[in-house]
Amino acid sequence: MAKSHKPVVWFPFAAGGTVIAFFIPVIVVLTFMAALGHIPPGLSYEKMHAFASNGLGKLIIFGVVALSLWSSAHRLRCTFYDFGVRADTLVAIVLYVAAIAGSLLSAVYLLQI
Amino acid sequence: MTQMKERLVQLEVLRYNPDTDTEAHFQRYEVTCYEEGVVLDALNKIKADIDPTLNFRWSCHMAVCGSCGMMINGEPKLSCHTFLREYEGVIRVEPLTHFPIERDLVTAPDDFMEKLKRVKPYIIPKEDKPISEGEYKQTPAQLMKFRQYSMCINCMLCYAACPQYGLTPEFIGPAALTMAHRYNQDSRDGGRKERQEVVATHEGVWECTFVGACSEVCPAHVDPASALQQMKITSSIDWIVEHMIPGGKK
């Protein structure tokens, strides 16, 4: 039996899982707070804009978005598999393409800031 | 001592006799058991008093031997460890799912035994040293790295719980892979590279999608899911070393 190449998709999935666990709940809470008009002073539009204008800031935002998307895509692929959908290649292509497209879009938007 | 309370227990047991039956069928039994009893007690009472033809495996009656695993109301459980008082109404008892039925509640464990062998579940010494040099010493910290994973009693409940094993029978599966991890983590062992030939394949850890049902049903609290996730990390690091670092060994 040959060794699997699964680490190519699994490593970013694991990294994304960690990112999701640490960042996404905070981002969701902050988004709701902002929507209700309670914006913490450190997270004002000007400060966030400055953060996204900075090269390192762009990289961090891109990392969070791309890894979370990849992780979610892979998780969804596994869920399809667990439910017995045996069209793994098709499912994988659709979900991974969606994750890559989302990541590219975020990169495009970040580079425009 | 106070009198132990008794209760009437209704069991619906899957029966299959390969000599006479073309299909398995359920048979209903009613038996009086102690309130504090377990499902295995009820089965033993049925065999003793009602139907001596009923077949099931058991040995220790104390969750150590791992032979009395069966599906109880659809969940893989040790029947010696499943209390009757936790159930109301008819209790449905079936053989462990994902394994071929031999007779009644007895299943054939051959597939698991063959897979267990393939992961080399024994110490492959790092270096051979003569007996005169004494024992291989281990610190408590080194012991703690694998102790939990050595608690497996080979009851195969994790295989019955794993949806991946049900869908892909080639999957090496939770208990056998956990045994590989147990020896990989042992400071006296040097066999990880050999085991990787099985562990790092598609049928090895990569068939696992981390459902986690194996760890939920494990009566020995081995937590096979954690062993498999740890092996995914080490297998991924291996992959990076092999493919992305120049001079990394194949």
- Express each pLDDT in B222-249 by its tens digit: 999 999 999 999 999 999 999 888 877 6
The alpha carbon of residue B202 is apart from the nearest alpha carbon of chain A, in Å, by 5
pLDDT band at A45 (very low <50, low <70, confident <90, very high): confident
pLDDT at residue B1, rounded to an integer: 58
Task: Quote the pTM value.
Answer: 0.88
**How would you classify the pairing of strands B75-78 and B106-107?**
unpaired
For domain A7-112, say whether CATH 2.60.40.420 is its number: no
Domain check: are B169 and B238 in the same one?
yes
Chain B partners of A79 at a C-beta cutoff of 8 Å?
Answer: 209
Optimal mutation site among B98, B172, B193, B202, interface A, most CBs of chain A within 10 A:
B202
Q: Is B249 within a domain?
A: no
Residues B156 and B61 in one domain: no
Range of the domain at B225: 110-244
- A56-65 residue pLDDT tens: 999 999 999 9
**Could you tell me if residue B66 is inside a domain?**
yes
Structure tokens at B206: 């990569």
pLDDT at B2 (0 to 100): 67
Closest residue, chain B, to A83 (C-alpha): B163
Q: Which of B208, B138, B144, B219 is closest to B172 using CA atoms?
A: B208
pLDDT tens figures, B33-56: 999 999 999 999 999 999 999 999
DSSP state of B248: -
For residue B1, being part of any structural domain is answered with no
The domain boundary, picked from B88, B107, B126, lies at B107
pLDDT exceeds cutoff 70 at B250: no
Domains of chain A, by residue range, sit at: 7-112
B94 and B118 both lie in a single domain: no
B79 inside domain: yes
Q: How far is CA A49 from CA A42, A43, A102, A111, B242, in A?
A: 12, 9, 20, 12, 41
Residue B235 lies in a domain: yes
- At residue B116, the pLDDT reads 97
> Which chain B residues have a beta carbon less than 8 Å from that of A1?
197-198, 201-204
Shortest CA distance from B165: residue in chain A: A82
> Do residue B139 and residue B94 come from a single domain?
no
